[in-house]
Structure 1
Amino acid sequence: VDYADLTGAPSGADRPNPRVISNNVMADQSRGREAAKRSDMVWAWGQFIDHDITSTPNSGAMDWNIAVPLGDPAFDPKREGKAMIPFSRSSAAAGTGTGPDNPRQQINAITPWLDGSMIYGSDAVRAAALRSFEGGKLRVVESEHGPMLCPNTLGLPNDNPTHKPADGLLLAGDTRANENLALLSLQTLFVREHNRVADELARQHPELDDQQLYLQARRQVGAEIAAITYNEFLPALLGPNALPAYAGYRPEVDGRISNEFATAAYRLGHSQIDPIVWRDAADGGAIPEKDLPLVATYFSPERLAEGGLEPLLRGLTRFIQEPTDEKITSQVRNMLFGRPGQGGMDLAAINIQRGRDHGLPNYNAMRQAYGFEPITSFSQLSSDPVKVGKLTYTYGDVDKLDAWVGLLAEDPAPEAAVGPTLKAILVDQFTRLRDGDRFWYGNDPGLADQREALDGLGLAEVIRRNTQIGDEIDDSPFFGEKFIRSKP
């Protein structure tokens, strides 16, 4: 860790203001699309499984707000010099932060395992609220576009920064499910898949009761999510064979989520996010309700009524994502959860501040921790002279480079969307998540007869059997072919 006092005080007093870094280095003009043609499904699936393995609570105290530079074009256009981006420090784990030998640590409020908790919940109350208690199935409401998640009529906790009525948001296993339509479409898809599996099990095994059907369907769906993640998503993101082959459960492996993964490396998806929510009809054109700017979809589940899941899932699988680099779309860099002056925030500045809040070491220290030599010049980080110039102008000293910024700025490793240090962190974490999981589907005797089918399962198959989508999407939904349509 790199706390200012080695115990818990945030780092970064000698580094530039996070919003200044965001403006200087991370603005996304003239960006284009990724050359390798990875689809928008990469970032969408990445967020979907992130909500299964990490959730860091914060104090809610707004105790370390980010000062906005005078005259900031988005947040201080009238040059009043009073604007702030609200920021609360992450909650400290009990008993930590007492001294350099026991520095402040943060909490993961959910299990690190890929177990489908974003669908099923991480506490007994939420888990029960999601169940129908009939036939092992989850609660849904029927609509003209098929089964949908239920409104949160029970007042259970839900992230709600746009201050919607509680029942104006939907209830899922994770409190963040309503954040955007891409995420919500995957949440809904896998609730449908759970109910499809439960129905199939009930037909095959009429002797099973509701609880048995629920648990077995959950077991299978969790395995499907793990299989898709490791057999499709990670190879698309990191290149083929990036992880060592699975050799069985290893009880000595610690599968917990590392701070550098949760707070820096796995925030790579914020770079990949598409500023447009593409809503494709079966014939490849936009649906009558048209595409949407991302800002119009935050915490707006009512938009699912505009054509259902199908247009969203087609768009995610057909359109090519933004490159994985240090650039961040203005839809989250200036308009996170609202337009400037209407609740909008800067996700890039928040990520930089979060790294300092958690006492993350600088980029060079993180490189060394993963076996790489430190860099002595920004030109060693990237072959792009414009990027190098912006980093040099903004930071001056490579040893002051924030880890998240440096990881995104790396030139990609061969066959990967990400640079070598970022790739190493992801390989380490996802290997430990798999090998340290006693219930991993490759180690679960209750799934032994399904293992071959699970290894051959693709996301396209799950989409096709739970929606009206057919062969109009590719069998490899993590790669797309469409660059852009005229903006909505």
Structure 2
Amino acid sequence: MSRPSVFGRALIGIYTRVNRRTPWHKLPFLFGLFNLIALRDQLREDNLVDTRTPGGVGLAPGVALADAPDDERRFRTADGSFDDLSDPDMGRTGTRFARNVALDKVWPGTPEELMTPNPREVSQRLMRRDQFTPATSINLLAASWIQFQTHDWFAHGREDHDDIEIPLPEGDEWFEDPMRIPRTKQDNTRTDADKDLPPTYLNINSHWWDASSIYGSTAAKQKAVRSFVDGKLVLKNGQLPLDPASGVALTGFSENWWVGLGMLHTLFTLEHNAICDALKTNHPHLTDDELFGIARLVNSALLAKIHTVEWTPAIIAHPVLKVAMRANWWGLAEEKIHRRFGRISKSDVISGIPGSAHDHHGAPYQLTEEFAAVYRLHPLLPEQLEVRSLDDGSLLDSMEFQEIILLNAQRVLEGPQEVEDLWYSFGTQNPGAVQLHNFPRWLQDITLPDGVRLDIAALDITRDRERGVPRYNEFRRQLHLKPAATFQELTDNPVWAKELEEIYGDVEKVDLQVGMHAETPPKGFGFSDTAFRVFILMASRRLKSDRFLTDCYTEEYYTKTGLQWIADSNMRTVLLRHFPQLGKALDGVPNAFVPWNVSTSRTAPAAAAAVAGQHE
């Protein structure tokens, strides 16, 4: 746990009282900004909970900077080890998820509690999409981006021959009764010292923000994606080659593959190779391994920057949040000062986190089960992808999502339409709103490449219960929020309140996912204030704990070329670097994750109405 400064404790005390009457997002701008700083300090103090074996049993010994092997000191390792040299196992592939809530609140329920209410009934009656509700302030690229990032951050394994059985509600036409959901893979690193700890689970990716979705989280996967020429990654005619083992693209992490992921993986593979070209031109002495290692540092930092100052302000369109997220990267002194003078203060509040001193705030760095839970944003996905022409906006094809996912994705990526048309289509189509009754129907009956057939909505509910993620009201208590006393207090929608009461009976039993989707979000928010509490805490932590984004964010590690590349780049410049044909669609667009310009030749009434809807 992290102890705030005297000023920080005073700020927490003041805003704890203020927030009893007025939430942060309804305060005047400056008061709201300081409220967020106080909330982050409070969460750092109370909500970073270590789950590693007491006493550090089995952890690798630390090494001094001068004694670390050169590759482990200078570059990110494949599995994330040695990011913290004093604790080389911290954040490594195959280490435990931590928690953002007290450990006595994360024991899984009894088998009866696991089924109450029935997850399949919750899926069908509360989550199932009745009619597509769009999120009009963002584009479909925002939806594919967040899956691209979560594939970098976390993934749980699953047991092959051990299922959770869900009895079907009366009249349910699922193909088998009971419905079967594979259990989360058990933690095989537990020892006798863990006997008093709740169940723990392992992250099969590295915990660091290291672009492992592109580069892989194992040495074998990293070797497979490298060309070993000039530091570059493997591409074939501008596309990712197919992995013969899986049938999908060869990349760092390709589970739950679809066209949106394929586009982003390809884009940032191209970006890696472009960074290598720039590095080789300006630093011709660098070896293949050095070019690869530095380009990975640059590429992963750029991804973190884009997520921090572009994606997050797009999906949380609140003035205070825009300043706060930009301050995470550049500080309150802002970008212009930073670009002209560099850091003007050691404080990350004044001059941003990159280049500041790293700090774990009292707990070893791990991603958390609660972080994974609040990033389940499946309602963002629509039912169809409309492929439109970049030239004139005309409809080229309308594809059901079943046609563009898993093994079908490559057919689309290599299909007759131009890749620029796909980018334009993602830039101009809206994703779904994150709310009840907007979960994609196609995800409620999906067959994975290994033959497992799942209802992902029922799986989401079951996973939180299985892993001991508290239900909605207890989650809010743990995150210093007032719980809902009634169903009517939980949601402003009276129809939803009645449905929730019919299904749950007791407001204390409402699942986290359901409560977050029913909750009325703050103005401009794409998701609930409840979920946002975890974001406040973990957004800065993922930067502040990483030495490659703090102590080692220097020319020694990145080169002057690399740091300048990050400073000069954003999502828009990355797109235009590799697909300059998108210039007209992106001209004047302030953020690549909001709707792009629609071609002016789309003059039919229906097209005009679509444009109006996108810019409400």
Please state which band the TM-score falls in when normalised by the shorter chain. 0.7 to 0.9
Ranges in structure 1 where 5+ consecutive residues have no aligned partner: 156-165
2:197 pairs with 1:102:
yes
Matches of 2:183 and 2:192 in 1, distance apart?
Answer: 17
The within-5 A match list for 1:255-404 is 255-262=365-372, 264-267=373-376, 269-286=377-394, 288=396, 290-299=397-406, 300=408, 301-306=410-415, 307-337=417-447, 344-404=453-513
Matches of 2:575 and 2:183 in 1, distance apart?
Answer: 38
Aligned partner of 2:77 in structure 1 is none
Which of 228, 234, 243 is matched with 2:312 structurally?
A: 234
Matches of 2:392 and 2:168 in 1, distance apart?
Answer: 42
- Deviations along 1:321-365, whole A, 9 cap, x unmatched? 2112123443444233479xx865211100000011101111111
Aligned partner of 1:123 in structure 2 is 218
**Aligned to 1:50, what secondary structure does the other structure show?**
helix
2:563 pairs with 1:454:
no
Which of 237, 240, 246 is matched with 1:149 structurally?
A: 240
In structure 2, relative to structure 1, the CA distance for the partners of 1:453 and 1:135 (3 Å cut) is: closer
2:252 pairs with 1:170:
no
Higher mean Cα deviation, 457-466 or 120-129?
457-466
| Count of residue pairs the alignment pairs up | 457
Matches of 1:452 and 1:206 in 2, distance apart?
Answer: 17
Letter in 2 for 1:413: P
Matches of 2:610 and 2:180 in 1, distance apart?
Answer: 31
Q: Give me the identity figure in percent.
A: 25
Letter in 1 for 2:574: V
Which of 584, 590, 594 is matched with 1:479 structurally?
A: 594
Bigger relative contact order, structure 1 or 2, given CA contacts below 8 A and separation 6+? 1
- Is the CA contact (8 Å cut-off) linking 1:41 and 1:317 kept in structure 2? yes
The within-5 A match list for 1:73-88 is 73=173, 75=174, 82=177, 84-88=179-183
**Aligned to 1:439, what secondary structure does the other structure show?**
helix
- Is the CA contact (8 Å cut-off) linking 1:287 and 1:311 kept in structure 2? no
Which of 73, 89, 112 is matched with 2:207 structurally?
A: 112
- 1:278 is displaced (CA, Å) by 2.9
Matches of 2:106 and 2:308 in 1, distance apart?
Answer: 40
Q: TM-score, normalised on structure 1?
A: 0.86
- 1:191 is displaced (CA, Å) by 0.6
- Is the CA contact (8 Å cut-off) linking 1:134 and 1:210 kept in structure 2? yes
Matches of 1:128 and 1:5 in 2, distance apart?
Answer: 38
- Deviations along 1:396-453, whole A, 9 cap, x unmatched? 1111011121122211123321121111112211121111111117960134745565
2:359 pairs with 1:251:
yes
Ranges in structure 2 where 5+ consecutive residues have no aligned partner: 1-101, 330-347, 349-355, 599-608, 612-616
- 1:255 is displaced (CA, Å) by 3.5
Higher mean Cα deviation, 321-330 or 55-64?
321-330
Q: TM-score, normalised on structure 2?
A: 0.69
Higher mean Cα deviation, 243-252 or 355-364?
243-252
Letter in 2 for 1:313: W
Higher mean Cα deviation, 366-375 or 329-338?
329-338
Letter in 2 for 1:395: Y
Output the aligned Cα RMSD.
2.8
The within-5 A match list for 1:188-199 is 188-199=266-277
Q: Which has the larger radius of gyration?
A: 2
Aligned partner of 2:280 in structure 1 is 202
2:161 pairs with 1:61:
yes
Aligned partner of 2:258 in structure 1 is 180
Higher mean Cα deviation, 459-468 or 184-193?
459-468
In structure 2, relative to structure 1, the CA distance for the partners of 1:118 and 1:56 (3 Å cut) is: same
- 1:233 is displaced (CA, Å) by 0.6
Higher mean Cα deviation, 473-482 or 47-56?
473-482
Matches of 2:514 and 2:103 in 1, distance apart?
Answer: 16
- Is the CA contact (8 Å cut-off) linking 1:6 and 1:99 kept in structure 2? no
Letter in 2 for 1:298: I
- Deviations along 1:225-263, whole A, 9 cap, x unmatched? 11101010111123323546351233233442111111x
